């Protein structure tokens, strides 16, 4: 799992239409935050619908290492007895965040203003990813980081002994960086301010308020200005984690491309900081009905009824990138089947995800017979429309769950099957992906070409 074990090749073949209800697991971003905020609270946090993917399990383990009590009562049902803001203990061993950039970056933020030291590592994918984007702002609070070249993991963070509050303008549109700064601000006296030019997912802001922090958000010409009052007393809460729209993306896209399909994906977040993919698919001609709009776990959600659709290529504007940043791989797969060209702009952040996702998608699509063009910040997919996609390739996933799932979705309609060299990273975010897709009628199985 997550790049530590033996690779598990998987293959998808053209087959039956997809039918049924796809109940995708809990949201990964909210699951990490529920555990971390629970650990930083006084009293008990009870979580239902927690994603039990490896990324989140690694965060649960880390919270124990920092002194919280974390217990699993049943499937998705967990309790956290927190230590309060400023109450983290020094971990006795290295914190291994596995494949999770969100886990490591948020936890570094959460500990950076406590008088403790911690050493962080992760799998081969995480050890390649840039951490300077988080350790730079954490240094402004007074924390010190010593890592490998380029600030990469393994890295030791020496928490600030006398933290000072910070005003930080995000140089990259990243919810992980924003969240790390806000979590560090919790144990700094006075006001910590984060400014983001582009709105990124806002779960940290919503949940901090829910746990009792004093936090305000203002839209200004400079961008979204988030102000947090330091040293609040956070109190344990009940958190019902809504389903993950980034996981919903895979069955939704599969149903759109497999002829004759009709599925329902219940409880999919319509949070505007997360729903860019659905806007894009509708613009491409997707038949998606947004039924029963309501609120679940503090998030706006709807049931998505999705029917097979003829899609056309479009220009996806750069301003939309933050609201669908994890969905570009599966969008690129879908775009290869559309009539016409899809241009995705403003996507350079994809280069520093679990893999360089622009490169991974471009190489994989080319191997499947699709013409693509890439620039540093742009991915162009020339849809093959009625000609269909040949497939017949084994695609390298580079320890990246979303690359694996995207090509397994594509393989459901290609002329020849599509295999991925390693599907094991899927367990980091969507451990029931294979069973769920087979339950809808998809032909996905362990194996290769
Ligand atoms: C996440 C933020 C995004 C996203 C990741 C989850 C989060 O990363 O890609 O899967 O939970 O804050 P960036 O903040 O680096 O864009």
**3-state SS track over the chain:** CCCCCCCCCEEEECCCCCEEECCCCECHHHHHHHHHHHHCCECEEEEECCCCCHHHHHHHHHHHHCCCEEEEEECCEEEEECCCCCCCCCCCCCEECCCCHHHHHHHHHHHCCCCCEEEEECCCCHHHCCCHHHHHHHHHHCCEEEEEHHHEEEEEEECCCCCCCCEEECCCCCHHHHHHHHHHHCCCCCEEEEEECCCCCCHHHHHHHHCCCCEEEEEECCEEEEEEECCCCCECCEEECCECHHHHHHHHHHHHHCCCCEEEEEEEECCCCCCHHHHHHHHCCCEEEEEEEEEECCEEEEEEEEECCCCECCEECHHHHHHHHHHHHHHHHHHCCCEEEEEEECCHHHHHCCCCHHHHHHHHHHHCCCEEEEECCEEEEEEEHHHCCCECCEECCCCCHHHHHHHHHHCCCCCECEEECCCHHHHHCCCCHHHHHHHHCCEEEECCC
Q: CA 25 → CA 242, 352, 359, distances in Å?
A: 8, 25, 28
How high is the pLDDT of residue 1? 39
Ligand 1 pocket by C-beta < 6 Å: which residues? Answer: 29, 102, 174-176, 179, 201, 325-326, 349
- pLDDT values of the chain reduced to their tens digit, one per residue, 449 residues: 345 689 999 999 999 999 999 999 999 999 999 999 999 999 999 999 999 999 999 999 999 999 999 999 999 999 999 999 999 999 999 999 999 999 999 999 999 999 999 999 999 999 999 999 999 999 999 999 999 998 999 999 999 999 999 999 999 999 999 999 999 999 999 999 999 999 999 999 999 999 999 999 999 999 999 999 999 999 999 999 999 999 999 999 999 999 999 999 999 989 999 999 999 999 999 999 999 999 988 889 999 999 999 999 999 999 999 999 999 999 999 999 999 999 999 999 999 999 999 999 999 999 999 999 999 999 999 999 999 999 999 999 999 999 999 999 999 999 999 999 999 999 999 999 999 999 999 999 999 99
Active-site residue among 27, 96, 244, 326? 326
The tokens of 292 are what? 């029963």
- Ligand 1 center to 447 CA (angstroms): 31
Kindly tell me the burial class for residue 171, based on how many C-beta atoms sit within 10 Å of its own C-beta (0-12, 13-18, 19 or more). exposed
For atom 4 of ligand 1, the residue with the nearest CA is 326
Q: What are phi and psi of 252, to 5 degrees?
A: -60, -50
The tokens of 175 are what? 């919810």
How high is the pLDDT of residue 4? 60
How high is the pLDDT of residue 2? 41
User: Is 421 considered catalytic here?
Assistant: no
Q: CA 411 → CA 18, 109, 332, 404, 441, distances in Å?
A: 14, 40, 13, 11, 13
Report the distance separating Cα 202 and Cα 197, nearest Å.
13
For atom 10 of ligand 1, the residue with the nearest CA is 326
How high is the pLDDT of residue 5? 81
Residue of 129, 176, 271, 276 best suited for mutating to test ligand 1, as the one with most atoms within 8 Å of CB: 176
Residue of 110, 172, 175 best suited for mutating to test ligand 1, as the one with most atoms within 8 Å of CB: 175
Kindly tell me the burial class for residue 259, based on how many C-beta atoms sit within 10 Å of its own C-beta (0-12, 13-18, 19 or more). exposed
Residue of 246, 325, 352 best suited for mutating to test ligand 1, as the one with most atoms within 8 Å of CB: 325
Q: What ligand 1 atom has the least distance to the C-alpha of 177?
A: 14
The tokens of 353 are what? 């995800």
Residues present in the chain in total: 449
């Amino acid at each position: 799992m997550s790049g530590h074990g033996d690779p598990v090749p998987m293959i998808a073949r053209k087959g039956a239409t997809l039918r049924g209800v796809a109940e995708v697991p809990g949201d990964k971003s909210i699951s990490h935050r529920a555990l971390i905020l629970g650990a930083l609270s006084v009293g008990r946090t009870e979580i239902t619908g927690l994603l039990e993917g490896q990324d989140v399990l690694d965060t649960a383990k880390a919270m124990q290492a920092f002194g919280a009590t974390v217990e699993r009562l049943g499937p998705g049902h967990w309790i956290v007895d927190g230590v309060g803001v400023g109450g983290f203990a020094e971990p006795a061993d290295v914190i291994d965040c596995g494949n999770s950039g969100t886990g490591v970056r948020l936890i570094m933020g959460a500990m950076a203003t406590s008088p403790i030291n911690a050493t962080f590592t992760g799998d081969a994918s995480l050890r390649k990813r840039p951490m300077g984007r988080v350790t730079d702002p954490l240094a402004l609070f007074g924390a010190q980081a010593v890592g490998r070249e380029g600030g990469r993991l393994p890295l030791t963070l020496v928490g600030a002994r006398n933290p000072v509050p910070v005003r930080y303008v995000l140089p990259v549109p990243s919810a992980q960086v924003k969240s790390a700064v806000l979590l560090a601000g919790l144990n700094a006296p006075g006001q910590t301010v984060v400014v983001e030019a582009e709105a990124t997912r806002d779960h940290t802001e919503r949940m901090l308020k829910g746990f009792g922090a004093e936090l305000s958000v203002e839209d200004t010409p400079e961008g979204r200005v988030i102000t947090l009052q330091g040293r609040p007393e956070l109190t344990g809460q009940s958190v019902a984690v809504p389903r993950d729209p980034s996981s919903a993306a895979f069955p939704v896209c599969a149903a759109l491309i497999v002829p004759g399909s009709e599925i329902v994906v219940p409880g999919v977040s319509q949070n505007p900081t997360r729903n860019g993919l659905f806007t894009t698919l509708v613009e491409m001609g997707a038949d998606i009905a947004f039924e029963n709009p309501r609120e679940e776990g503090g998030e706006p959600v709807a049931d998505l009824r999705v029917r097979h659709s003829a899609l056309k290529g479009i220009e996806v504007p750069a301003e939309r990138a933050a609201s669908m940043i994890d969905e570009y791989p599966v969008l690129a797969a879908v775009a290869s089947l559309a009539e016409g060209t899809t241009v995705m702009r403003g996507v350079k952040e994809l280069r520093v995800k679990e893999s360089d996702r622009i490169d991974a998608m471009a190489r994989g699509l080319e191997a499947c017979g699709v013409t693509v063009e890439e620039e540093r910040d742009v991915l162009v997919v020339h849809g093959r429309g009625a000609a269909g996609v040949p497939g017949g390739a084994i695609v390298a996933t580079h320890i990246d769950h979303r690359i694996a799932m995207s090509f397994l979705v594509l393989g459901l309609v290609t002329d020849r099957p599509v295999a991925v060299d390693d599907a094991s990273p899927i367990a980091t975010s969507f451990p029931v992906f294979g069973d769920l897709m087979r339950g809808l009628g998809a032909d996905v199985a362990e194996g290769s070409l």
